[in-house]
Chain A
Amino acid sequence: MLFKRKEFLQIGSLATASLMMPKFLKAFEKTASVPPGNKVMVVLQFSGGNDGLNTVIPIRNDIYYKSRPRLGIPKDKALQLTDEAGINPALPFLKELFDEGSLGIMNNVGYPNPDRSHFRSMDIWQTASDSNQYVTTGWLGRYLDAQCSGCDKPTQALEVDDVLSLALKGEKLKALALKDPKKLFNSTNERYFKELNATHEHEEAAVDYLYKTLSETLSSADYIYQQSRRHPSSQLYPATELGKNFKTISSLIMSDINTKVYYVSLGSFDTHVNQENQQKRLFTELNDAVSAFVKDLKSNNRFEDVTIMTFSEFGRRVAQNASGGTDHGTANNMFFIGGGLKEKGLLNPMPDLNDLTEGDLKHTVDFKSVYATLLHNWLGADDKEILGKKYEIMSFV
């Protein structure tokens, strides 16, 4: 039997995935097909603290221009969205989306007692905790726990990266991080690992946990790779990191994979110095990648099924600093992009620059309420169970 299995592996057949699974897990294997119209959420993290005020610009606000004599983006440079708001000139495609009704902007999102450390504030956003709580699981990890109880492949949420973010680590399950399906497949395609996995007998809890993770990884890697090859995208994507990552996401969305959440990051937006160039470079990368992605989705009639949510761990201070940049701030705006938005445009009032806390914006929307809305309305999940508390459900999706 062992000899046969070895032969089988040498042929390199993808179909071996299920054979390789330990017996005690195999019982849980279910078909993982997705009904048409599968709703998908793409979370796009702006790492480093994106400057929200130079992203969505209050073009009629004197305080803004007085606080930023050098960095403020003049009204005629900003791409005008409404009477009072313009968008950063490096984001022309987002302006297009705004005009056609596929972009929603939520202003002043944050949390009480904001923390200005990147790492800590990112933890708070990723775990959906209060600022004085230390939580070791992420909000999307807990979503995964709820979606995949007893299933064999935790592919309902995927991160496009080499390393998994805390956001996608659940109590029972952890999502997969992959830079691209082929690379993941190759790194799991070690005969040695597969054979170890295949012959593992039930032992005590710690070893079993490791083998369970190994088994899920191997079978998910095969599954994801197979799926990603089914509908190779014909859309041209920019050759940037984000461009490639969106291409990967798109190829999976077009397949029959059961993934509902994709997670991807762009950065670093930590613009203490020389903000203009750095933000412009990152926004151009963002603009071009999102543009290709949306066109791809539209031409495959899937734009209605996808919502992109963007966030950053904090915004930046209202006033510019002395080095052509801005320092860590508090509340920030978030984008929602998709063909299935129920409300679009500016979803709430622009920041009130007359009402600051020591030079920082006050939050008017708790980010956990945004999470609750997406979980409940878009993904049809139990937001209270996942977030540990009932937050206000909004109506933008």
Chain B
Amino acid sequence: MAENANELSSVTQKELYKILQKTSSKKPEPLNVASNAFDGLVKGVQDIGRMQNLTQEQKKQLRKQSAEDIKSLNLTWLSEMINSEAQLREKMSLFWHGHFACRVINIYYQQELLNIIRQNALGNFGDLLREVSKSAAMLSFLNNQQNKKQHPNENFAREVMELFTMGRGNYTENDVKEGARAFTGWGFNLRGEFTNRPFLHDSGDKNFLGKTGNFDGDDIIDIILEQKATAKFITRKIYKFFVNEDVDNNRVELLSEGFYQSNYDLNKLMISIFLSDWFYEEKNIGIRIKSPVELIVGVRRLIPMELERPEAQLLFQRVLGQVLFYPPNVAGWPGGKNWIDSSALLFRMRLPQILTSAEEFLINAKDDDDVMMGKEGVDNKPKAKQVNATIDWDVVFKVFEQTAKENLLKRVNEIVLQTKNSVNPNILKRYIDNASREGFIKSAMVELMSTPEYQLC
């Protein structure tokens, strides 16, 4: 956060990583935002036992309350990302949130999946994979509840292999079929607890990735983890997220070998990335386009503020194309250049202004009919909106206390951009408020954040 900025300048980047690692090593408290209203609804229908047996009206009520509660979960997690000391863990969790992309409107399921991810974000990938695979969220989203001995549904098995572990080209269509047979019977109850339903399970022999046996879902996950392709696929994706979209194949090969040998120890993998020299090479810095959530969190970490209407951040997410808990599909957010089009870029460049001044903004996001569920758009007419932030500028001013006037712009630039890219100082100077030191710092920060360069990290 801004207030640590000066301390940061006295430590090396590698030491910084060790600090991050330490602050992130503690297991997080589970987030629980399911409202009393939702708990009540669920208790009221618990005798019924299964989601399918609810009446239309009960289902509708549950979905409606869930959609509301998921908004709180979104804001609660966002606030963790902004305020938590465990920055590494939250960043890694955001990575997994996109990797294990899941779009179900049920607050219990979503909250449980997020807790699994945050608990295991820097732990063991095998554990993470297994817990995610047994979560109601994923079983429901990928239709494994409908995967039965008589009528196998291959969706779950396919996506586990294609998107969560090995990636295309490392298994056959037959492996998908056989894997799906092994996963038959995996399901969940109304509370979202994992249930194994033996009467739906296909207990015949399966041929899966060259092995034969009466496999169940756990066996399939074990076999998938035995494949080096899994270590490679995950390492490559982590490399693209944390290092560079342009992958250095030899480096990923080495990293993934170590990851495999360590039995999928994520903490070790991250250490070998962050403590390497190449991670800090110029070509790997300031080349990645921040996701909308990273951008919002970044602005708020740099400038401490209280929002009178925090829900405006949900609108920002919608307008910019990344709403937590609503990935576009099981493949997650495509990221990179896909974040940027004309309107998104303009809005990104205006966001610091919107947050730091009382500037009104007039923009409407598209409706999401999966969330709206047929309710007529109440907010159809575009209305001018305001965030009303109370900013603690004093914290920011303190950071620059020791900086001489003539070095001020350079120092602000270093802190805001933290990349090799720099904005033409001649232009900046014309937009910076020179009347007071405070005004100078404020306007320099906001102007620097309102640039294309600030979109990168």
Contacts and interface: CB of A to CB of B under 8 A. Distances in A.
Contact of B365 (A120, A163, A203, A241): A163
A328 to B, nearest CB: 10
A134 B103 contact: no
B21 interface: no
A119 to B, nearest CB: 5
Contacts of A206: 286-289, 456
Interface in A125-143: 134, 136
A48 B367 CA distance: 9
12 contacts: A134-B330, A136-B338, A162-B365, A162-B382, A163-B343, A165-B366, A179-B382, A204-B287, A210-B340, A268-B367, A268-B374, A270-B372
A117 B203 CA distance: 32
A211 B343 contact: no
Interface residues of B, number: 57
A49 to B, nearest CB: 7
Interface stretch (B222-230, B247-255, B304-312, B445-453): B445-453
A163 to B, nearest CB: 5
Query: Most A CB atoms within 10 A — which of B330, B369, B450, B455?
Result: B369
A216 interface: yes
Interface stretch (A228-236, A271-279, A340-348, A354-362): A271-279
A325 interface: yes
B20 interface: no
B452 A268 contact: no
A270 B373 contact: yes
B342 A119 contact: no
Contacts, number: 151
Interface residues of A, number: 60
Contacts of A82: none
A322 B452 contact: no
A92 interface: no
A273 to B, nearest CB: 6
Nearest to A207: B421
Contacts of B326: 119
Interface string B395-429: 00000000000000000000000000101101100
Interface stretch (A13-21, A36-44, A83-91, A188-196): A188-196
A161 interface: yes
A220 B368 CA distance: 29
Interface in B318-371: 318-319, 321, 326, 328-331, 334, 337-338, 340-346, 349-350, 362-370
Interface stretch (A55-63, A100-108, A170-178, A385-393): A170-178
Given A183-B362, A270-B369, 18 more contacts: A119-B329, A119-B370, A134-B330, A163-B363, A164-B344, A174-B342, A177-B341, A178-B343, A187-B346, A195-B427, A196-B424, A200-B424, A206-B287, A207-B452, A207-B456, A210-B345, A273-B374, A323-B56
A104 B451 CA distance: 48
A196 B328 contact: no
A220 to B, nearest CB: 7
Nearest to A277: B376
B341 A192 contact: no
Contact of B342 (A164, A179, A209): A164
Nearest to B363: A162
Contacts of B436: none
B59 to A, nearest CB: 11
A241 B364 CA distance: 12
B331 A241 contact: no
A216 B329 CA distance: 30
A80 interface: no
A167 B328 CA distance: 13
A192 B450 contact: yes
B431 interface: yes
Nearest to A325: B374
A213 B373 contact: no
A163 B321 CA distance: 9
